Structure formats: structure tokens, C-alpha cells
A and B are shown apart, each in its own frame.
Chain A
Amino acid sequence: MYRIRFHGRGGQGMKTASRILGEAFFLEGFEVQDAQRYGAERRGAPIFAYVRAAKEAIHERGVIARPGLIVVADDTLVAIAAAGVMQGLNEDCVVLIDSAESAAAWAERLNLPGPVIILPAHDTREAGEAAFVGVECAAAAACLAGVISQAYLEEAIRRELAPMGDEVVAQNLGIAADAYAKMEPYAGIVRADGTLSARAYKPPDWVDLPLEGVSLAGPAIYGGVNSELTNTGLWRTMRPVIDLERCNKCSWVCVSSCPDSAIQARADGTPEIDLDHCKGCMLCVAQCPPHAIGAVPETEALAREKAGEPVCAAN
């Protein structure tokens, strides 16, 4: 059985990618499950989708715990434990990652036992083409699986994207053909594992149940404003950075501009951004009258922080 997990951010098309791949497997005569896993998350939040395909009936249910292929559409997710990108990784699992960095760098950094492949479109993709990362992932995964012909991949894309119009379909077909062709050297690298059996499951001798405070664990919520325990800062791909030398301290503008209560003013009027909760909408950047708030890619900001350098926006 092929078990493939797609990781991305809400809005990147992982749901569509899983549907295209599932449809293509189906056209090849496989039994298929494709499912998207999301809850309260919105655009920018870590999400995942998964596909199971087998020649026999599929009795497995739920999230894929032992994937044969993990597709990562956004490499910033790898560092986020809550995204669970590396969950269930074993030595046979292939990791396909959309990244500007090399496969060797990822293999070393994450101590990956299995093969790592970089989604080749990354370097050549134009700014406006980020919307196609989903179809690239689906096409690359189809080729890596080695049992999906390009014709059926294209038919799947046509079927899944038909409501978006001929022009969008044509664009996606072109991009898919390119991604499929570039993956040819690795065609068939993904292994189809046998079925997992519950009989092989060894129950633990002891299960620790976490004991949580009543503000979290009670049947009714008694702790007000505890939403702040949720780290929506993980959604952010761009970070707003205030240049205090330019700041006019007209903090009522930026405080009001933030829909997420993530900016507050100190007594002297200096605004502060709460990076644990800022979702990166960039409204404060757009609204700041003296243009004192700049936008820095989150990956760059994190790298600078790690190196002990100040994070500031290029103006």
C-alpha cells in the first residue's frame, strides 16, 4: 500500500494536491483514500493531507502513521513541532521538500535515514507562481510513486481543476508536466509497504494520563482569555518589525489595525508586537503612517535571531 502525506500551510493547495494524486491513483486502478486533515486552522496555519492507495481493499483508517513518502510544500514547517512533519519517519521513507537548500543539507540537519529529494521547481518559480506548489507536489509525488502514467496524472488534474476554467487547467498541466519530468531519475523510489495489522500492535503496560489544570480540563471553560495559550504566531510567513527610530508613537493606529490583539502600546506610546500571536497579515505594515513597520520573511528573521543579529527590515 502506498502511504503519502502532504504537509503545507492552509492556502497552499495541499488539499488539492492530495485529491489530484488520489484521483490519478484511482484512474490507474487503485483503491484510494484521500483525506485532508484540518480543524480550526485557517490560511497560513500548518495543515496536512494524505493519500492511501492499494490494489486491494484498504481497511486502514485515520492519519498515516508510517508514511512511504512525505511531501513538504513549505520548508519552514519542518522546525515547527506541532506541524508533525517528521512523524513516523523511518529509513524507507522518502522526503520530498520544496526548499532553496540542498538535499544533503536537509539530510544532515534532520539526520534523515532515507532519501531526501528537493522539489526542483523552487529556484525557477516566479513570485506569482507560488499558487502552483500544490500541483507540483502532486505531480512529483505521482512520478516518485512510479505507478502513475503522465496521461492519468493529467486527466486527474483536468478533473479536479475543471471548475477553475480552461486557462488555469492549462497552466497547471504545464507545471505538472515539468515537475513530473524532473522527477524521472527518481521514478518508483517510493515503496509500497504491506498492510499493517493491529495484531502486531503491542499494547503498553502503562498509560500516563496527563493531569491538566481545571482551567483547561474542565467540561466548561472557566479560564477567561486562555486563547492566548494558542500560538498563532506559527501561521506567520512574514514578520512585521518596528523601526523605533521612525515610530511616531501614534500607537492607536497600529493597535487598532491589528485584528488579532497582537499589538499593544506601552505607557509612553511605543507599540510592541506580540510575536507569539501575530499571524503575519501585515495590516500594521500597510497602515503605519510614517512607514516605520517593515516586513521581514519569517525564515530570515529566525535565522538572524539564531545568529544573535538584530532583526530589522530593509527599507
Chain B
Amino acid sequence: MPDAGASRFRRMRDLPSSHMLGAGTAMCAGCGGLAALTEAYDVLGENTVFVNAAGCMSLMSVYPFTPFRGSWLYTAMASAPAGAQGVRDALDVLRARGRITVQEDLQVVVLTGDGAAGGMGLSATSGAIDRGLDFIYFCYDNEGYGNTGQQTSALTPHAAATATDAGNSGFPGWKKDLFALWAANKPAYAATIIGGEPLDLVRKIEKARSFSGPRMILALSPCPTGWGYDPKLSIEIAHLAVKTGIWPLKEYIDGRVSHTRMPHPRLPVEEYLKPQGRFAHLFEPRRNEAALREIQAGVDAYWAPWEAQREA
């Protein structure tokens, strides 16, 4: 876990007893993305302006309703970081002219799904990093274009069946490593989170807030509708994602990547895959041993250097 010394969240019972994000949003029951955002918003607070790339969370603020306590600005899929630049610039102008105080300044947060983040939004994101934009890039990653029926996105994992890769083998490609893309370009902070691990999550949001410059939060977002499982399993699936090593909880600070959780021993990946309809073809009508081995080997290869380091 991230260093608890400086955190106001020392243990589970320090988690908030109610949430700041309003109820009544149009997200699906059991939405893992909404879970992550709800937990994060308690730490981000009302002095936050969201710049929303089109996606599932377009439906967060459907006129005339909003669950937020502060502002929300809607952009096209590809241009949320550009929108964030404009908002940040405007706030800076207001600051320079003395029209708002430091206390009234707002944290600019891009809210984006993985479709926009890993595909058409990459160019605007790259530009924002180049310009050292002071913003948090919050990506809820449900591994597909969930709002339109779970078509394959750049962050869809290998072998997952989607609306566009429906055959017997699922998506033939591999999940794009958005965290590594960011980390390679020396952001102020980058972290992976998951709603099912709220303590790890709030500490990372707290830490992200303490930096300025480009910061990235990548939340794996179990999606009952797109992944094909009962909504009540969202948290269990989140836990399995972490315990199998499929979803490493990590952060990047000062040129170094470190893990906030080292699953040990790691559970076999199939424990995570089995409850999800999108992977059912790996088990029925017969087990696809080759594909299961391939997925396990990918996870093993990821962890090998980190586990060797820990053994040493």
C-alpha cells in the first residue's frame, strides 16, 4: 500500500461514512467505474472541475441533473485534455488577476473511459503531457466501449469476447499498457487503482492531489453489463483481478515504479476469468488450454522481475 504515514486514511475505518458524490446517476447497477469515482471524489472534494470525454460517464451529468458539487464540462471523446487545458488556463488568468483566491482555485480532472484514453484521446493527452499541464487524468477502464455495447477498445484484454470480437477466440490483440505510456513520459504522478480496494485508492488520490503537473489515475472498472456477470460480483471480481496479478496496484513517483500490493501467492488467472461471460468461451464447451496458458504466461512474465527483486 502507499505509504500510510502521511495519510489521513490509516485503516479501513477511516474511510468516509457517507459519499460526496450524489446518488441518482444513470450508471448501471454495480458499476465498477462509478465505485472508483465515488471513492475518489470523497478525497478530490468539491473544488474539482471535471472535464468529461464522451463515454459511459457522459451520463453522470444529464441536464438538468448533476451528482457533482462543482462544475462539469463535456467534451468530445478525443479532446478532454484540450478542454482541461482551457479550463486550467482560465483559472490561471483568474488567479493572476486576483479574481479568485488560492483557496477558490479548482483541481482540473479529466474523466475518460478507456476507449477515448487508449485510442482517439491519446493525441490530446500526449500534448497535455508535453505542455506539463497541471491536471489529473482519471481513466475508468472497463476494457471496451461500454456505453455503446462493449465493442473492442485499445485496452480490451487478450481473448475477451466483445461485441466486435464475438467469435470463439475473442479479441486477438493485447491490452495497451496506458500506465507504461504515461510513466515513460515522466508525469508528476501515475497510479493504478480499483474500486474494490478503497483504502489503496483513497491514499493514491490523496497523493495525486499533493502533486502538480500531469498526473494519471487508471482505475480498472469491473463492468457487469460489458463483462457478463451478476452486478453483486463486482467487488469479488476486483479482488480476483488483484489477487491473480492481472491488475497490478502500483504507482509512479520520481522516475520509479513501485507496487502498493504484491499478491503472494498469486492465484491462477482462471479464477478471475471464469466468473466472467466474456471469457466463457475459454472454458465451454471445452477448456482452451493454449489460451489460458498464454494469459497466465503474460501475467507471470510481468511479475517475474518484481518477484525476483523481492526475493533478493
Residues of A within 8 A of B (CB): 11, 39-45, 163, 215-218, 221, 223-232, 235-236, 250-253, 255-262, 264-265, 269, 274, 276-277, 279-283, 285-287
Contact mask for chain B residues 10-42; partner A; CB cutoff 8 A; 1 contact, 0 none? 001111111101111111111110110011000
B225 in complex: contacting residue of A43, A262, A279, A283, CB < 8 Å: A43
New contact pairs (5) apart from A232-B23, A281-B231, A286-B236, CB-CB < 8 Å: A226-B22, A227-B61, A227-B65, A235-B29, A265-B18
Chain B: minimal CB distance from A270 (Å): 10
Q: At the interface with chain A, which of B67-75, B181-189, B245-253? A: B67-75
| Residues 141-186 (chain B) with a chain A CB within 8 angstroms | 166
Enumerate chain A residues within 8 angstroms of B118, measured Cβ to Cβ: none
Chain A: minimal CB distance from B30 (Å): 4
Chain B: minimal CB distance from A72 (Å): 21
Chain A: minimal CB distance from B63 (Å): 7
Complex Cα–Cα for A235 and B29 (A): 8
Q: Which 6 A-B pairs have the closest CB atoms?
A: A277-B23, A264-B18, A281-B30, A225-B22, A230-B24, A282-B232
Docked-complex contact A282 and B22, CB < 8 angstroms: no
Enumerate chain A residues within 8 angstroms of B34, measured Cβ to Cβ: 259-260
Docked-complex contact A259 and B16, CB < 8 angstroms: no
Chain A: minimal CB distance from B31 (Å): 5
Docked-complex contact A260 and B166, CB < 8 angstroms: no
Docked-complex contact B28 and A226, CB < 8 angstroms: no
Enumerate chain A residues within 8 angstroms of B5, measured Cβ to Cβ: none
Question: Given A43-B29, A216-B64, A264-B17 in contact, is the A286-B22 Cβ separation under 8 Å?
Answer: no
Complex Cα–Cα for A284 and B24 (A): 17
Complex Cα–Cα for A224 and B68 (A): 6
- B234 CB–A CB distance under 8 Å: yes
Docked-complex contact B26 and A253, CB < 8 angstroms: no
Nearest opposing residue in chain A for B26, CB measure: A40
- B257 CB–A CB distance under 8 Å: no
Complex Cα–Cα for A252 and B230 (A): 23
A44 in complex: contacting residue of B12, B19, B29, B66, CB < 8 Å: B29
Question: Given A228-B23, A264-B17 in contact, is the A40-B67 Cβ separation under 8 Å?
Answer: no
Question: Given A282-B231, A286-B232 in contact, is the A274-B61 Cβ separation under 8 Å?
Answer: no
Nearest opposing residue in chain A for B70, CB measure: A224
- B198 CB–A CB distance under 8 Å: yes
Docked-complex contact B166 and A163, CB < 8 angstroms: yes
B17 in complex: contacting residue of A39, A255, A283, CB < 8 Å: A255
Question: Given A226-B65, A230-B65, A261-B19 in contact, is the A250-B13 Cβ separation under 8 Å?
Answer: yes
Enumerate chain B residues within 8 angstroms of A282, measured Cβ to Cβ: 30, 230-232
- B46 CB–A CB distance under 8 Å: yes
Docked-complex contact B19 and A255, CB < 8 angstroms: yes
B15 in complex: contacting residue of A228, A232, A255, CB < 8 Å: A255
Enumerate chain A residues within 8 angstroms of B17, measured Cβ to Cβ: 251-252, 255, 264-265, 269
Enumerate chain A residues within 8 angstroms of B23, measured Cβ to Cβ: 227-228, 232, 260-262, 274, 276-277
Docked-complex contact B29 and A224, CB < 8 angstroms: no
Complex Cα–Cα for A163 and B149 (A): 14
Docked-complex contact B15 and A283, CB < 8 angstroms: no
